[in-house]
Structure 1
Amino acid sequence: MLSAGILAWIGAVFLAAGFVKGVVGMGLPTVAMGLLAVTMPPAQAAALLLIPSLVTNLWQLLTGPSFGRLCKRLWTMMAGVMLGTVAGAGLLTGTHSGVASAGLGAALVLYAILGLLKLGFTTPARGEALMSPLVGVATGLVTGATGVFVIPAVPYLQSLRLEKEDLIQALGLSFTVSTAALAIGLFKAGALASPSAQLVGSVAALVPALAGVFAGQALRQKMSVETFRKVFFAGLLALGVYLVGELVF
């Protein structure tokens, strides 16, 4: 049974994570996993993440204009995400949890550095057939080990130079598949020991997550996204360094 303090912390985490997603269009699993991993095992944090992530990403996916076309273009990447996530989910459980937390920290540091430096690349059309499944598998392995969906999926999708709305929908597609694959991987690894209780907790986390999304979308109309982006990535960098330091020291 979780204490009142932990429940309040979970609510605050998902409110903040939803807020970030509302402002910048992504970041809910990254923020939620990073903050929750400070107080609980990564597998437990990932189980709480499932419903809020699935609902918010399905919303993002299904409200875009190019669902069928993006599925046809990115299906090999999505297949790789599924396979890699299921294969790597065992790292979130048992004796590997400390390593998984450090891996999460490393993923956050890398993501934050890429974001702060605005590093990117362009993938030529002729390279997609090779790159998409490789990026999918790599993203799946990182997702399975850390619960974070962004590396290397987000930089790769940005490199395809999609139109703004197509990119947002492509991110929704990738995150939705990653969430579903993570649920399968956690179940297969035995991390969902009490599925009903964990489902209730995850559904409850959806409420503050959605509240955060709506608040973030409202604020996005009133502030510089660039300023928020810098603060967001700086915070992720500090959090990632902390999580890596937990294992090292």
Structure 2
Amino acid sequence: PAERVTVIPEAADPAFRPRPPAEVEAVRCKHGLPERYLLYLGSNKPHKNLTRLVEAWAHVAQRTTRLTFDVSRFTFDVSRFTLIIAGVWDPRYPQPKRRAEELGLGDTVRFLGPVAEADLPALYSGAMAFVFPSLYEGFGLPVLEAMACGVPVACSGTSSLPEVGGDAVLTFDPTDVEAMGEALRRILEDASLREHLRQRGLARAATFSWERTAGETLALYRTVGEPA
């Protein structure tokens, strides 16, 4: 029964916070990243839904080839914008790479592979936005880490992710490629939306802490330990 279930959230490591430009630039150069990129961080297991993400990115590319955006005083063609898919790659699931090749996405998608833990805060901070299209999660820590780094987030509106992101993320149906693509297009095109999500995300992330997790866990133990 619901009254016997208590949900206690995780938290992001304190290292996940907006990083200074020099640190972001150093990590960007280390990994050969473009000046601005859309980031996914996680595994390539099937429930992470990367094949649909690649297809959604193709949808964005088709819709925005001729548009330009002004970011930090630099105007660039979104056709040169790169989707970075970072994280440990399991060779048992090659479908996302194959689909990117089939769609002819070329260097608009880059499979970065694993990234050192120390580089992750700057990797997040350098992203124009973070996307997390997972079909289901136990929590969804990358969404929280991205918000804590001040990065606007677009993620699935399913499983635990709405509980993590609240009203600080742009959600989409992870089974609908076109809807996912439209969410990515919105977050790339709309600077005011990105700033809104960035501010909301920082505030939302600040409500999660390991002190809170520990306190709620201790309170639960005390409640359970009380005599009936």
Tell me which interval the TM-score lies in, with the shorter structure as reference length: under 0.3
TM-score, length-normalised on structure 1?
Answer: 0.25
- Greater percentage in helix: 1
Which structure carries more relative contact order (alpha carbon 8 Å, separation 6+)?
1
- Greater percentage in strand: 2
- Larger Rg belongs to: 2
